[in-house]
Structure 1
Amino acid sequence: MNKYIEIIKNAYTGYWNYLKHELISINHWDNYFYGLLCISLIVWLLEICFPWRKNQSIFRNDFWLDTFYMFFNFFLLNLIVLIALSNTAAQFLNDILSFIGISISSFQLFDVDDLPKVLGLFIFFVVGDFIQWNTHRLLHRIPWLWNFHKVHHSVKEMGFAAHLRYHWMEPVIYKSLLYIPMAIIGGFDAQDVAIVHFFNIAIGHLNHANLGWNYGPLKYIFNNPKMHIWHHAKNLPEHSKYGINYGLTLSLWDYLFNTAHIPYNGRDIELGFEGDENFPKDFIHQELYPLSKK
């Protein structure tokens, strides 16, 4: 037990020191704080210059709530729970495997450090995105997970910051399901993670932005605003009551597994979910909402 307490304490101390360093240091390209700020400002300027829904306000409905979610989930959430929980869960899993005489390294298929840099990053990106696509499907299909995911689907007007409006349990679920497959591949360093992470953040912001882009032929590979708005549609097709267009960064999986659905230009469709008129409108009650449901 003392070992786990020490892991939690070191996680909090280490992340707090890291966060302070990020805020005062702008001399390295993989600074997560200023990276998020830069990507957000660029996509917001694109929204202002090339709005798809021209009657939508620059400071749209829930703009400030989503902006708070964006920084809370990206930084404070890590400080409060995610880093400590992830490190503790990883150690707990390793301890269980060790108890039965198995090491997580024994499952490792290969080390990406042995591959060319570009190929290693490509494998890391594709495998991670596929796992997260499946996790996203689970959030829609399992009722108690859906109660957490409703926070994200409570968005009524799409904008870049809606990308990071989600309940704090979501990254816990994503990270937990991502841990073992990433450990099996192994060998990723911090800069590898930063490159993929910034790319995913940029695509995610664009997917939720007030932009009418679909990237031409690349729409069959990358998720895009015209596709993702249908994922947030309040009225789903009869054959897909659990959802459509689950892609996070890649749309490829939806086309491969027949979950893609773009029946027409969805610029003005109603967003949300059935019963969202009774869903809490403020941060605290949205965070508490899943705890009040069976």
Structure 2
Amino acid sequence: MKKYLQIISDSYSGYWQYLKNEILLQNDWDNYFYGLILISLIVWGLELIFPWRKDQAIFRKDFWLDTFYMFFNFFLLNLIILIALSNTAITLFDELLKSIHLSITDIQLFDTNILPKPIGLFIFFLISDFIQWNTHRLLHRIPFLWNFHKVHHSVKQMGFSAHLRYHWMEPVVYKSILYIPIAIIGDYKAQDVALVHFFALIIGHINHANLGWDYGILKYILNNPKMHIWHHAKKMPPSVRYGINFGLTLSIWDYLFKTSYIPEDGKNIELGFEGDETFPKDFISQEMYPINLKFKKNESP
């Protein structure tokens, strides 16, 4: 136990130092703090220059709530829980492997680090995006997880910062499912995958932005605003039970596995989910929603 408490303590102090260096511009080019700000300002600028819904306010509904979510989830959430949780989980998994006389290298299917870096990172990107596509489907399919994912789907007007409105449990689920598949193809440092993360961040921001883009023929490969807005549609087709258009960065998985759905121009469709009229409107209440819901169910006769 003392060992794991030390891991948690070191994780907090290490990440705090990292975040401080980010803000003070003491890190290298892969600066996620100012990278997030720069990408957000650029995509917001594109919204203002090329608005899809021209009557949507510059500071749309919940703009400031989503902006807070954006910084909280991208930085403070890591400081509060994710880094410590990830480091502890990695250590536990490594020790589990040692108990059966194995190591990460023993279970690697192949090591992408022996490939030229662009090819290795492309494989990393494809595998991680496919796993996250499947994880996203689980968030819609499993009621327990859907109650957390409702936070993201409570967005009523789309804008770039809606991309990072999500409950803190979501990255726990994503990272837990993603860790082992990524571990068995190679060991990647944060700097190595910075380009992948920045690319995913840009596409995610654009997908949620007030932009009417679909990239032409590339819409069958890249997720886009005209496709993703249907994922947030309040009214789903009768044939769909668990959702549509689950792609994060790539749309190709939805086309391959028949979960794509773009029946018409979705510019002015109603967003949300059934029953969202009673969903909490503020950050704390939204974060507590799944817990409060569980208590209410337990208290019901």
TM-score bracket, normalised by the shorter chain, equals over 0.9
Aligned counterpart, 2:257: 257
SS at match of 1:293: helix
Aligned counterpart, 1:110: 110
Matches of 2:103 and 2:28, distance apart in 1: 35
Contact 2:21 2:27 in 1 (8 A): no
Aligned counterpart, 1:154: 154
Contact 1:206 1:225 in 2 (8 A): yes
**Aligned residue identity for 1:222:** L
**TM alignment of 1:52-71, pairs within 5 A:** 52-71=52-71
Identity across aligned pairs (percent)? Answer: 72
Matches of 1:46 and 1:266, distance apart in 2: 19
Aligned counterpart, 1:101: 101
With 55-64 and 97-106 compared, the bigger mean Cα shift is at 97-106
With 248-257 and 97-106 compared, the bigger mean Cα shift is at 97-106
Is the counterpart of residue 142 in structure 1 residue 142 in structure 2?
yes
Aligned counterpart, 2:23: 23
**Aligned residue identity for 2:223:** N
Aligned counterpart, 2:10: 10
- Output the aligned Cα RMSD: 0.9
Matches of 2:92 and 2:238, distance apart in 1: 43
With 24-33 and 168-177 compared, the bigger mean Cα shift is at 24-33
Matches of 1:139 and 1:73, distance apart in 2: 18
Kindly state the Cα deviation for residue 223 of structure 1 after the two structures are TM-superposed. Answer: 0.2
Aligned counterpart, 2:86: 86
With 24-33 and 42-51 compared, the bigger mean Cα shift is at 24-33
Kindly state the Cα deviation for residue 127 of structure 1 after the two structures are TM-superposed. Answer: 0.3
**Aligned residue identity for 2:225:** P
Contact 1:63 1:161 in 2 (8 A): yes
Aligned counterpart, 1:279: 279
Aligned counterpart, 1:35: 35
Contact 1:152 1:165 in 2 (8 A): yes
SS at match of 1:239: coil
Q: Normalised by the size of structure 2, how large is the TM-score?
A: 0.96
Contact 2:153 2:232 in 1 (8 A): yes
Kindly state the Cα deviation for residue 187 of structure 1 after the two structures are TM-superposed. Answer: 2.7
Matches of 2:169 and 2:151, distance apart in 1: 11
Matches of 1:244 and 1:198, distance apart in 2: 25
With 104-113 and 41-50 compared, the bigger mean Cα shift is at 104-113
Aligned counterpart, 2:245: 245
Q: Which runs of 5+ in 2 are unaligned?
A: 295-301
Contact 1:148 1:167 in 2 (8 A): yes
Contact 1:26 1:34 in 2 (8 A): no
Query: Would you say how many aligned residue pairs link Structure 1 and Structure 2?
Result: 294
Kindly state the Cα deviation for residue 189 of structure 1 after the two structures are TM-superposed. Answer: 2.4
SS at match of 1:55: coil
**Aligned residue identity for 1:202:** I
Regions of 4+ moved over 6 Å: none
SS at match of 2:193: helix
